Each structure stands twice: as C-alpha cells, then as structure tokens.
Amino acid sequence: MFSRLLCILLFGLPLFAMGKTVTYEFDISAQRVNKTGVAVEALTIAGQIPAPEIAAEVGDLLVVTFHNRLDVLASVHWHGVILPGIQDGVAYLNTQPIAPHGSHTFEFPVLHKGTFWYHSHSDLQIQRGVYGPIVFREPSTSGGSERPELQALTVLFSDWTNEDPTAVLGNLKRDEDFYAFKKDTVQSWDRVLEHGLDGVMRRLGQSLQRMPPMDLADVGYDAFLVNGQRRASAPALAPGAEQVKLRLINGSTSSYFDVEYAGGPMQIVAADGQDVEPFLVQRLQIATAETYDVLVPVDADYAYELRATSIDGSGHSSLLVGAGTPVSAPDVPAPDLLQMDHAGMQATDGVAMDHSPHAPMNAMPEPDAHAGHTPAAAHDGHPMPASSGMPGQGAMATASPPVVAHMTDYRYLVATTETRLDPNRPWREISLRLTGKMNNYLWSFNDKTQRQDPQILIRKGENVRFEFTNETMMHHPLHFHGHFFRVVNEQGDRSPLKHTVDVQPMGSVVIEFAADEEKDWLFHCHNQYHMKTGMNRVVSYADSSTFDDSMATAILPHFRWFDRTRINATGNFLALDYSLFEERHDFELRLDSNFDEIHEAKAKYLFHFNRFFSAFAGVENMARENEREETLAIAGINYQLPLLVESEWRVDEAGDFRLELESELQLSRRFAFDWRWNTDNEYRYRLQYSLNKRWAITANTDSEYGTGVGLQAQF
C-alpha cells in the first residue's frame, strides 16, 4: 500500500491537484416496499432501491457518509474499487461496522475509471435492498477515451423475494430442493423418461457418481428487477443519438442473468471496469457481482427491450431503451437441465467455436435466427452510423464483424494491454476445490468452511496463482476484495483483468495477481447464501496481517443452528423426525408409534466428516407387541452409496450388527416414493403427493405397523 501511495504522490499529484472533493450523504433505513403487489419490509439507502448512483472522476476525493437508522449493525463495501484497506467496508476485518443509529464516513481517492457497485456486507442486507451503482469516469478535462457525445445509461439488475432472507436461508438449510417446487424445476423421473434412453443414462450416470439432480439457481424469487423495477424505461435519449453505452451491473444476491438486446448484438468494451478489445455478442451471461460495459444502437423510431432472464428460466426483467415503438427481445427458453453437461451448458448452446474474437468470420456461428442483422456497432470504440430501417436491423459494414451467439465464459475477453506478471518475482500457487453439501446446504473450499479454515497466507512481492476446481453442480461467482486479477484464458499475455470470476459447475479457472497490498482482504463466493454458509476466506499478507481469532469470530457468518421437523400422521402410526444441526454437528430424534403397544425411538449425535460420510452414537428405545421394552446404546457410521442410497452401518451394546438402506425417488413434480429396509427384515415403503413444500398426502406400508394413509407436514 505504501508503494501505491508513493506512486500517487510522485506521479499522480498533478492529476489529484485538478481533482475535486465529491460528497454524498445517505440514510440507511427500513421501510415498506412493494415490488410484486405485496408490501414487505425492506432496507433502503436514501429511501430507494437500488441506492442512488455514486459518480466521480479519476483524481477526485470521494467522501460518502452513511447514517444507520436501523436497530442493527450495517456496513458498505465498495465492490471492485481499489482503495485503502481501511475503507473496504468489511465489518471488523478492515472497517468498523456502522453502529445502530450511528454514522460512518468513507473517504478515499478515485484511482481508476469503470463501472462498479456498492452494497452491504452484513447479514443478508443486500437481499433486502442495500446496494447501488458506482460510475468512475476519466477527468472531463483530460480528453479521455470516453467520448462526451456517447450517452451512458446505468443498468442495475437484481433479484427480489418477499420472504425474509433469513427465512430463505432456513428453507434452503432444511430442504435443498425447497424452491424447485415453486420454480417447477423438480428433476423428476417422468421428465427423465421424456428424454428416452439418453435421459435415463444421464441420470443414472449422475447418480452413480453421487451427484444430485442439477439446478442452476437455489432460490425461487418473486421478481427480477432492473433499476428497481420489473419493467422500466431508460432515461430519455439525447437528440440524434445513434448509439449508447449501457453500464450493466449484476447487483443480485444469488442470480445469474442471460442479457439480450432487441436492437441486435451488443458490443462489449469493458468487463468489471477494465477495458477489453471490443467484440459483438448476441446474448451475454452475467454472473452475480460482475459488470460489463456494452455499446448498443438506438433509433428514434423504436424502443428496444433489454431483457435479463434468470439462467434457470424462472423470470426476467425488462428495460426499454428509447421512446418509439416497443420492440421485444426474444424469449430465452428455460434450460433443459437433463440435457446439460457438467459445465452447466446446453448441448445445443450456440457459443462461437473459435477462441478469439478476431477469428475469421467463417469460424464463428451465425447469430440466432431471431437476432436479425448485425446492428450499428462501434469499431475500436468509435460509433458507426445506425440505420433507420426496420427494428433490429442496423447498418451493415462491408465485412460484418463476427458475433458470439451466447457468451458464457471468458475466452473472448482480451485486455487492451499486456497483463502478464513479472516472471522474476517468486510464485505462490494455491489450489482451492469448490465443495458443497446440499442436504444441509453447506458450501466450502477444500471441504472446509471459513469457520474451520479461515485464512490463506500470502506475502507481499509474490505473484499468486489460484487454481479453482468446482466439484459442485452450481455456479460460483468468486470475488476478491481490493485486487484485480488476471483470468488466465486463451489470450495469453493479454488475459483480461477482473475482480469477480464465475467458476462453472464441474469447471476449472485459474487466476493470477501481483501481491502488492497489505494486511487482510476478504475472498468469497458472491452468492450470498453460499458465502453465509461457509464459502469464504480471508487472504492475509503474512508480514502485516492483523487477523486473529477474535476478529475471525466477529467476521465469520453467524454461528447458527437450524432445525428440520417432519411429522407423518397416518391411520396406522405417527412418525416424528427432528434434526438440530449446524456445520458438522447434528442431533437427530426419530419417533414411531402406533399409540398402543408398539413404538421405536432413537436419539443420535452425528459428526459429519464430509458430504458422504458421518459417524454417530446414541440410544434406541423399543417396545414390541407382547415383548419386553428395552433401551440400547448404538453407534455406527452413515455413508452415501452410489445411486444416492443412504446407508447406516450400526452396532448396539449387545453386539448385534444392522445395515439399513434408504432412498427417495422423485417420480413427478408432486409424486415421490421413498423406502427404507434393514437386515432385520424391517421395511417401510411410502408414496407421497405434495400439495406444496409444507404439506403432502401419504400412503405407506410398514413391516411393524401395517398399511395406512394420512398427512405429512414439514417445517
């Protein structure tokens, strides 16, 4: 940090002498908000969602004061902004939290241009509305690369739930598929069979590898928003405008979006605030917390729709750019999860085959049929004249530039300058496996949550390489505070610089950065529900770190116990299953009774080593008809077998061994079949029909209790 400040003083002093002090002052408060027809309590900055845009120029001194009107702690992080660590905004790690009914002022120089955003780093306040855009521009007097006649519009995408975010997390903890029913993305066997033998073999292959059915998003949202609305209109366009810049920000809590513009392909000119060589893309997948700057054509006669569709197909937001006749963007079909490969890609996805945006045109696929012709585009950052013809048809150059049909990774991003690190510096390589345990909704690095392994040590002056291997079926947007890193791709020495990188399901990514900062910086998955359940670390510079156990306790996700209850009341018996659990520890109680002479009760403590293996100890109390009641101590292990069969291997104090197997088959969206069998020849087979995620009608046959029909409740 000292070297950076010294460079600023020596070389940037004339620039900062021209700069000005830019001041903002906001309240963070709670208020009722209605985004879907239902008013719920949310959090606002300056009374609005999203928060007001913060804008400044390179060389300015930015001073922003937040007054916390809440009864709980709040915080603000400057996402993607290079600044002194004490201003970064992670409560207790490098910045004090904003106390209830207290205030905090952030003050730092603006060192670079770009599109960024700010948001809370406390609890799940970002899901409730504490987020807003940041725009840093070149000085207006510097003759910078941003052409003053090119109008720029800020576009902030987000997701919205009417539920309390804490309740959302609790639902995910209790049932990993809780929101699949709401979104109608239940991966059932009737859907598998619709795909014939190929679908059956895919599902069996996944099950043999103990992979649960894929879903691209965890939460069933009530709405997706653009600039705080489900359907919005951009500000009025400048008279005679032929092209505008859209500053796209994914400010969601956990959603990825496929973005498409009705006027034709978008020209990407910057990613995460860093300029890239311009290229055209028809549909852009933007990960949680990423930003892109794109140039698009506009026409006075039309209002082109910019549509952001959630990648699970559960909804979209819409922004109209222009004031003429509306032109809709194409519908994005819901993904067929049974046809996706391990990287989460459709087998028929139209991604350009060549790895270079400068490849010959015949190396690229044709744009989608609905895309129309190539629109007015910018070449090397300079606008080209737009056509006043039919909607979606811009001017055609003599040799049209290639168009990427659907950009889902970083192969096309080329930095405008060389980003290669100094090869003479020492190198440190760190491998991180992205791991998860869906049945308790636990996310981690190398099978350890931040609570179990909180810190990664590096040294100033090194080149650091992170190698990420995603072993889960979910996307993970990984964000590193206070640094830009190069995403090592096919572009070699001109690999792009970013602050957030998507690691696709079962995919791998390598990033590199020069370790030139000091102290401690947060590194985490920006899916807030993944971060809050363990997928984060503190990256510490060993020679200057102030991170200790007391700080670790303060900044870690809240230590929380969750509970899960299922009651099945039928004509032949009553069954109660209750679990109280946290990261690795689990207390279970299971009770079956026919209200007469037969009952069985088990109480167990389990320790989970990983998502497949746990050990337990407990007691079992049994009463059989015309038999003596007995209580036994039990111990054993649980292990998940291929085909997602759960096995229990146990022994009791009398030395008797028993193996128990159980599993569940989702037959359709509403019908499921589960079974349990053990080597004492006890069994239970049950069919259930889900009315919703709380209630179901059940029918069962049991070796002890006979046959019955009834209701099941779970909460």
Give the DSSP letter of residue 206: H
Contact predicate 443/534, CB 8 Å: yes
Q: How distant is the alpha carbon of residue 680 from its chain centre? A: 45
CA distances from 399 to 279, 360, 374, 389, 396 (A): 14, 11, 11, 19, 8
Which CATH number fits the domain 1-142, given the four candidates 3.40.449.10, 3.40.50.1100, 2.60.40.420, 2.120.10.10? Answer: 2.60.40.420
Closest CA to 580 of 562, 598, 594: 562
- What's the pLDDT score for residue 1? 42
Fold entry, domain 151-164+220-407: Immunoglobulin-like (2.60.40)
Per the listing, tokens 């092209």 go with 243
- Whole-structure pTM value: 0.88
- What's the pLDDT score for residue 198? 86
3-state secondary structure (DSSP) of residue 15: helix
Residue ranges covered by each domain of the chain: 1-142, 151-164+220-407, 412-553, 562-714
Provide the 10 A C-beta neighbour count for residue 711. 14
- What's the pLDDT score for residue 350? 40
- What's the pLDDT score for residue 254? 97
Contact predicate 591/599, CB 8 Å: yes
Residue 302: both structure tokens together: 């039309």
Fold entry, domain 412-553: Immunoglobulin-like (2.60.40)
User: DSSP string spanning 47-93?
Assistant: TBSSPPPEEEETTPEEEEEEEE-SSS-B--EEET----GGGS--BTT
* E strand or H helix at 224: strand 223-226
Mean pLDDT per block of 10 residues along the chain (715 residues) reads 40 54 98 96 98 97 98 97 96 93 98 98 96 95 56 97 95 88 87 87 87 86 98 93 96 98 97 97 98 97 97 96 95 81 45 34 31 33 34 41 92 97 97 90 93 94 98 95 97 97 96 97 96 94 89 68 93 94 92 86 93 94 82 96 95 95 94 96 95 93 94 93
Strand ranges, E, within 69-102: 77-79
Task: Say if 151-164+220-407 and 562-714 have the same CATH topology.
Answer: no
The residue type found at 333 is: P
3-state secondary structure (DSSP) of residue 205: helix
Does 562-714 carry CATH code 3.30.390.50? no
Between strands 463-470 and 427-437, the pairing is parallel
